[in-house]
Amino acid sequence: MPLDPVDLDDDLRRSIVTTIRLLAADMVERANSGHPGAPMGQADLALVLWHEYLRFDPDAPDWAARDRFVLSCGHASALIYSLLHLWGYDLPLAELKRFRQWGSVTPGHPEAHETPGVETTTGPLGQGVANSVGMALAAKMLDARTGVDSDDFRPMSQRVFALCSDGDLMEGISAEAASLAGHWGLDNLVWLYDDNKITIDGDVGLAFSEDVAQRFAALGWRVERAEGHDHHSIRGALKAAEAETRRPTLIICRTRIGWGSPNKVDTAGVHGSPLGADELAATKANLGWADRTPFHVPGEVRDWFTASKQRKKREHANWESAFHGWRLRNPKAADAYDALWSTEAPADLVERLIDALPEKPAATRKLSAAVLQAAYAAVPALVGGSADLTGSNGVALKAAGLLGDPRRDDAPADFAYTGRQLHFGIREHAMASLTNGMVLHGGVRPFSGTFLVFSDYCRPAVRLAALSGVPNIFVFTHDSVFLGEDGPTHQPVEHMWALRLIPGLVDFRPADGVEVALAWAYALSEADGPVAMALTRQGVPAIERPKGFEPRDVWRGGYAVVEHADPEVVLVGTGSELHLCVEAAAALTRQGRRVRVVSMPSVALFERQDAAYRDRLLPRGARVVTVEAGVTGPWAAIAGRDGLRIGIDRFGASAPAGVIAERLGFTGAAVAARVTALLGQAGR
């Protein structure tokens, strides 16, 4: 079969695109659920992009140098499943027939951990395009750190393409992400905007009338236009994007939703509902489909995709050969490449991070800042920054260099793509999603930082990281009402538990330097999903631990810091409230009470321990008292019915931290008094 994109026979080209369209329509019809309109309208874009421009190997979906394709409008999942199946990924036709069914690998929206060839989990609009910016940034950083200017071959020259919708561009996160892409000059990034003028409610003009081209031009993007069903027009726009060397590119592709459907094309009715048997039959007739059998793939189409796959595999083989030669010519760059792509942390990482702790106690955000310098030295792939709170969050990487586009006329002298210190500006939504994209790309280990109260802005991306098993690192500081005078707008109360309630997210609220070091060590060496750590603004004392303590006990989520073999009461503290438990225990012990104090830096990790360990730490015969400066409701799972939950079930106040602590009862004496009252009631 001919493989030259321009000379491909028109009849065969038409048959290929029709196959893509109708597989999508058949999937939705079989499931009686889904979105046929977008895939039918996007099929032409997809064929030109995937066949002529996208570098990939279906038999090596994790090839590091592949181009990335992000279907940001994840409701069009039937499109990507059709493409993956036809190009020979491990996605048999049987899975297309099980679209949206229990146990299939063709869920309603694409999930990166479920389906081979799906780069990121999409569906919540705007998240995918923001992920794509992170992927493009990661590729740019890797190219800068491994490329050799004297060598014609650059191993990290991959590009990132995202297919997005009106909805993606309406969501605010896309504006934040696009702003950063333009600022960073990510010329390896292309968004194809499926401009079909239809949303669920009807014509896009009901709520969207801005000039998208002017907006993106103002953000520093190249803007191209294409007729979304004209392959020559699509090819020309992609060729222009490929030639761009300074800016990301937006291609505005005018398409018709439900293309091929004689009665539902250009209507909201084809957006999120099956065509229906009669309209599907009419569509197949309209497209000249002689065989109306569901999921029909003509033999000549199957043969063409088989041949195209072989071409893709040859491109990969050629790359591997060139890569091998590059490694021999550039051993230092090859070593850097290997170090960046390695997922292994140093075996002595825990010890290195503990050794980096300052001698004097401090706020856990400052202890984290010290630990981070050692992590930066130990893990070459570690990069990151914050949403304009670098100093406040303690996430400055000393001597790391600033990540930025050195070609900008207004660029600081030390801007470079080799920089490892990121500045996201005040863009928490995009920051969290961008770093997800960086992790998914591979070769870098990013972290991001902001105040805990602003985790609300990050939550959609944190949730998707947990859903996809993405080991991203989210640093949240100023973790309680004790940040003080800024008041309740900035004082998190419910946020720690809001994060803990996300399945698959590992929480850390460390009490002192040892727990801070172990939180970072876990995130960099043990995590199989996202980690969120909450750090204090105010100083905290170092915790004295009993003999036999091993630092990795922190990874059990809960462990004893004040021991008693037969406690009548167990005080469970987290973060800055742990030392209050220690103080209260001393007072209670003087009263003759039998007290154990448990630090619980990670509820998620504690819940992963076996029942025997949990029961040993929190004996069933003892009263359990939880102490944390936040909402108390979820602590019932730890404290039990007859326990006590000391916390804050109200918003904070604008006042110095010490005053807030006194007024809200967060002193060692106040905790001891409440426990005494509890035990007194128990004795009656």
Token pair of 622 as six digits: 């003892």
How far lies 568's CA from each of 68, 505, 583, 588, 618, in Å? 58, 32, 17, 11, 10
Pick the catalytic residue from 95, 111, 428, 628. 428
In the structure encoding, which two tokens stand for residue 460, read together? Answer: 């959609």
CA angle 243, 245, 248 (to 5 degrees): 95
What's the half-sphere exposure (Cβ side, CA atoms, 13 Å) at 273? Answer: 13
Rg over CA atoms, the chain: 28
662 tagged catalytic:
no
Q: Which residues pair with 475 in a beta bridge?
A: 449, 533
Query: CA 624 to CA 556: how far, in whole Å?
Result: 18
Phi, psi of 221, deg, nearest 5: -100, 150
Cα separation, 670 vs 394, whole angstroms: 31
> Cβ distance 168 to 125 under 8 Å?
yes
Neighbours of 31 (CB within 10 A): 18
Q: Is 656 exposed, middle or buried (0-12, 13-18, 19+ CB in 10 A)?
A: exposed
The first and second tokens of residue 73, run together, are 């409008």
CA nearest neighbour of 75 among 48, 113, 30, 41: 41
Sheet strand arrangement including 189-195: 68-71, 160-165, 189-195, 249-254, 222-227
* 3 state DSSP class of 193: strand
CA within 13 Å, CB half, 607: 13
**DSSP letter string over 446-467?**
EEEEEEGGGHHHHHHHHHHHHH
* Torsion sign across C-alpha atoms 332, 335, 339, 341: positive
| Six-digit token string for 343 | 């997922």
What's the rounded Cα separation, in Å, for the pair 287 and 297? 14
Which residues lie below 8 Å from residue 150, measured CB to CB, with a gap of 6+?
none
Q: Alpha helices, DSSP H only, in 559-620? A: 578-590, 603-607, 611-617
Helical ranges in 98-211 per DSSP H: 127-146, 166-170, 172-184
Question: From residue 41, how far is each of 46, 99, 239, 264, 451 by CA, in Å?
Answer: 10, 19, 21, 12, 42
Residue type, 117: G
Q: What are phi and psi of 515, to 5 degrees?
A: -70, -35
Among all residues, which ones are annotated catalytic?
428
